[in-house]
Amino acid sequence: MKILVTTKRVEHYESKIRINAQGTGIVTDGLTYMINPFDEIALEEAVRLKDEHSAEVVVVAIGTEDATQQLRTGLAIGADRAILVKATQPIDSDVAARILKAVVDREEPNLVLMGKQAIDDDANQTGQLLAEFLGWPQATFAAKTESLESEAEKQKEPAIDLDDDTATVVREIDGGLETVEIDLPAVITVDLRLNIPRYPALPNIIKAKKKPLDELTLADLGITAEPKVTVLGYEPLPERQAGVVVDNVQTLLDKLQNEAKVL
């Protein structure tokens, strides 16, 4: 069995994001980067499935040479191989899905695990688009059930359970949880409550430096990056105004009715 996992490079969630003077992007000086947290959860799940099914785990990232840092982290967590698709131009969800489809066509995995969204744009589209382009079944928002009392019980009832030709997935929906069964190969996107990612141990970090990391270009994959979404500009959120203290409920209602802005 082979499992392909995405590891998108994103700004650290504790970084202070500033818009550049031209309004064309963010100031990258001084920012720290990490694996998208949802992708990190997908990778943790892949490593757990690897131990259970003797699977090969391949991590893939799209971006500049800087993304090798996140790929090496993925290798240290437990992936066997890494693939960097080098791209410097803007990549929207549609282009990302088409690139990943080309990688899937080359690698022929049994399963693609992805974060449900990336914290830099929160689009929540790439996994669904990839499944559509591949013509594969998909299960989104895989999450661990919270109804079980102990960690041991949770391990007995995994949110993603693989058989020879099928996957049973517990997924989070508005009304709670539902369990679906899909045929393999398939695309599964994961939610926050699926697991807690491990920290890579120092020996594994050292071993990761010797694991294979292949680099591909868009030309190698026969892909032309033509985004369907064009970003016209960025602007910072307005500064938060100071609050006021009112004497009574009637004054509060008057302010809400007459002064509050509808966003």
* H helix runs in the chain, sequence order: 37-53, 68-77, 93-107, 126-134, 151-156, 202-208, 218-221, 249-258
Residue tagged 């490593």 (tokens): 47
What's the pLDDT at 175?
84
* pLDDT range class, residue 218, cuts 50, 70, 90: very high
Per-residue pLDDT of 62-107, as tens digits, reads 999 999 999 999 999 999 999 999 998 888 999 999 999 999 999 9
In terms of Cβ atoms closer than 10 Å to its own Cβ (0-12, 13-18, 19+), residue 36 is buried
In the predicted structure, residue 235 carries a pLDDT above the cut 80: yes
* Proportion of the chain above pLDDT 90, given as a percent: 65
CB 168 within 8 A of CB 94: no
Closest alpha carbon to 215 in 18, 71, 89, 45: 71
- Where on the phi/psi map is residue 51: left (φ > 0), alpha (ψ -120 to 50), or beta? alpha
What's the pLDDT at 140?
95
CB 102 within 8 A of CB 221: yes
Q: Which amino acid is at 162?
A: L
Mean pLDDT within 27-46: 93
What's the pLDDT at 262?
47
- Span 2-237: which CATH code? 3.40.50.620
Per-residue pLDDT of 123-142, as tens digits, reads 999 999 999 999 999 999 99
Domain positions in the chain: 2-237
Q: Which residues pair with 113 in a beta bridge?
A: 5, 188
Q: Which amino acid is at 190?
A: V
What's the pLDDT at 43?
97
Per-residue pLDDT of 164-217, as tens digits, reads 899 999 999 888 889 999 999 999 999 988 999 999 999 999 999 999 999 999
- Which has more confidence, 51 or 104? 104
Per-residue pLDDT of 189-203, as tens digits, reads 999 889 999 999 999
